[in-house]
C-alpha cells in the first residue's frame, strides 16, 4: 500500500542485470468494477516522470469512493520485462487486461490544490488517468496480435439476449439477465469522467475573476 508518511523518493532496488529492462508498476483499483489493473511502465528514461507522479499520489489518502478508482505506484521493487509481459497474459479480469508500455512517459500533472479535500484529490486523479487513461501519457503499448480485440465474426444477436434461453412456457422466459460488464460500460464510464472534467473546467472559468489566495497553490 502507499506509504503516506514517507514523502521521500525511495531508492530503487533490483536483482536483475543492468542490461535487462526494468518496469515500474502503477496499479489502478476500481470500486464499481471490483478489479485492479496493473500498468507496467519502462523505468529507464522515465525515472523523473515516475517519481513526480509518485510524489503526487503520496499526497492522496486512497480509499474507494462511488465508481472512482484508487491508485498506487511501485518504484522501489521493479520487475523484469519477462514478468511484465507474462502479467499482460493473465485472463483474470473481465474489464481490462494488465498492460505494458515501452514508450516515453509524459509529465502527469494532477493539478492538486492545497485547499482540496481528500475526495476532491481522488476525483482529480480519476479525471486525469482514471479508467486506463494513463495511455494518454505514454505510447508503445506492447500488445501481441492475438491479444487485440476484433469485432469481426461477432454474432448478429443482441448482447442483451440470454446466452441460454429459458424453456418454452417458463414464466421467467423473456426476462433479461445481467451479464458481465464489458467495453460498452467502460466507454460509458469514460464519457461520465469526461463530463465531470468539462464541468470542472466551467467552474474554473467562473472563478477566474475571484482573487487568488494561497489555498489555490498546487501541492
Predicted TM-score of the model (pTM): 0.68
Q: Residue 125: pLDDT above 70?
A: yes
As a whole number of angstroms, the distance between CA 50 and CA 57 comes to: 10
Residue 216 included in any domain: no
- Which three cell numbers mark 38? 496493473
Range scoring the smallest mean pLDDT among 62-66, 108-112, 189-193: 189-193
Owning domain of residue 46: 22-144+180-204
- Compute how many other C-beta atoms are within 10 angstroms of the C-beta atom of residue 65: 14
Q: Give the per-residue pLDDT at 66.
A: 93
Q: How many domains does the chain have?
A: 1
Report which DSSP code applies to 166. Answer: P
Over the stretch 75-93, which tens digit does the pLDDT of each residue have?
999 999 999 999 999 999 9
Q: With respect to residue 32, please indicate whether it lies within any of the assigned structural domains.
A: yes
pLDDT score for 119: 97
| Mean pLDDT for the stretch of residues 35-55 | 98
On whether residue 170 sits in a domain, the answer given is: no
- Identify the three-state secondary structure at position 208: helix
Whether 164 is in a domain gets the answer no
Distance, in Å, from the CA atom of 75 to the CA atom of 52, rounded to the nearest integer, reads: 11
Torsion of CA 64, 118, 127, 12, to 10 degrees: -80
In a domain, 70, yes or no: yes
Which pLDDT does position 199 carry in this prediction? 72
Cβ-contact 175, 75 below 8 angstroms? no
- Digit-coded pLDDT (tens) for 141-184: 999 998 886 655 445 556 777 777 767 665 555 444 444 445 55
Specify if 89 maps to a domain: yes
pLDDT at 141: 98
Contact 71, 62 (CB under 8 A): yes
Residue 27 lies in a domain: yes
Contact 119, 135 (CB under 8 A): no
**Cα–Cα distance for residue pair 71/63, rounded to 1 Å:** 9
Q: Look over the chain and give the mean of its residue pLDDT values, rounded to a whole number.
A: 81
Average pLDDT over residues 190-196: 74
* Residue 68 predicted with pLDDT over 70: yes
Does residue 74 belong to any structural domain of this protein?
yes
Amino acid at each position: 500500500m502507499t506509504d503516506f508518511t514517507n514523502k521521500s523518493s525511495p531508492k530503487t532496488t533490483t536483482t536483475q542485470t543492468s542490461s535487462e529492462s526494468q518496469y515500474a508498476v502503477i496499479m489502478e483499483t476500481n470500486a464499481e468494477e471490483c478489479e485492479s489493473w496493473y500498468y507496467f511502465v519502462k523505468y529507464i528514461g522515465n525515472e523523473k516522470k515516475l517519481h513526480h507522479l509518485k510524489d503526487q499520489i503520496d499526497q492522496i489518502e486512497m480509499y474507494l469512493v462511488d465508481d472512482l478508482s484508487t491508485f498506487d505506484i511501485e518504484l522501489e521493487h521493479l520487475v523484469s520485462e519477462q514478468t511484465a509481459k507474462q502479467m499482460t497474459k493473465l485472463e483474470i479480469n473481465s474489464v481490462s487486461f494488465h498492460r505494458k508500455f515501452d514508450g516515453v512517459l509524459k509529465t502527469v500533472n494532477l493539478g492538486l490544490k492545497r485547499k482540496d479535500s481528500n475526495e476532491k484529490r481522488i476525483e482529480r486523479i480519476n479525471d486525469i488517468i482514471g479508467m486506463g487513461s494513463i495511455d494518454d501519457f505514454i505510447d508503445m503499448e506492447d500488445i501481441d496480435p492475438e491479444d487485440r480485440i476484433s469485432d469481426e465474426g461477432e454474432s448478429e444477436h443482441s448482447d442483451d439476449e440470454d446466452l441460454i434461453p429459458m424453456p418454452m412456457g417458463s414464466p421467467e422466459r423473456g426476462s433479461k439477465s445481467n451479464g458481465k460488464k464489458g467495453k460498452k460500460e467502460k466507454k460509458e464510464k469514460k464519457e461520465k469522467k469526461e463530463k465531470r472534467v468539462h464541468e470542472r473546467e466551467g467552474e474554473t472559468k467562473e472563478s477566474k475573476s475571484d482573487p487568488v489566495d494561497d489555498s489555490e497553490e498546487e501541492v
